[in-house]
Amino acid sequence: LNDNPSHYKITLSGTVKSPKINFNPPFLMLMPVPLDVKTETAINIIPQDYLRQSQIQVELPELKLEDGDRIYPFSVQFPEGQNIVLSSDGTNKELICHISFKSSRPVSFLGNMFFIDEEEN
């Protein structure tokens, strides 16, 4: 360039990929159990297109019983941590999540559990 009056034009193009997570299995059905007995299963969380570390948080459902009481019978644990990490090959490592249910009251539930990253996706 060095004071050369020639003009250079650069054209850039790209694709924006939004980070997302998938689940294996994609839905969960826990088996009926007696009162005060815990049932548990593990799911794999498969992050895709995360370019920096993020942490997964979980919004657990609150159940309203017939008498108006509210309970939180679900719990989650991440035995290897909740951080989405970018591997050296550019992929994201899968996370394992243990979901459990235990209730001292009879209850049946069909609903959603929300997994949210640090940017509220």
Q: What is the CATH number of domain 20-116?
A: 2.60.40
pLDDT at 113: 92
Distances 75 to 30, 34, 89, 114 between C-alpha atoms, Å: 13, 17, 33, 12
Work out the percent of the chain whose per-residue pLDDT is above 90: 50
DSSP label at 11?
A: -
Q: How far is CA 43 from CA 29, 58, 59, 66, 97, in A?
A: 11, 13, 16, 30, 5
Per-residue pLDDT reduced to its tens digit, 3-55? 666 667 788 888 877 888 999 999 888 888 999 999 999 999 999 988 888 99
20: left (phi over 0), alpha (psi -120 to 50) or beta: beta
Q: Could you tell me the pLDDT band of residue 2, with boundaries at 50, 70 and 90?
A: low
Give domain limits for the chain.
Answer: 20-116
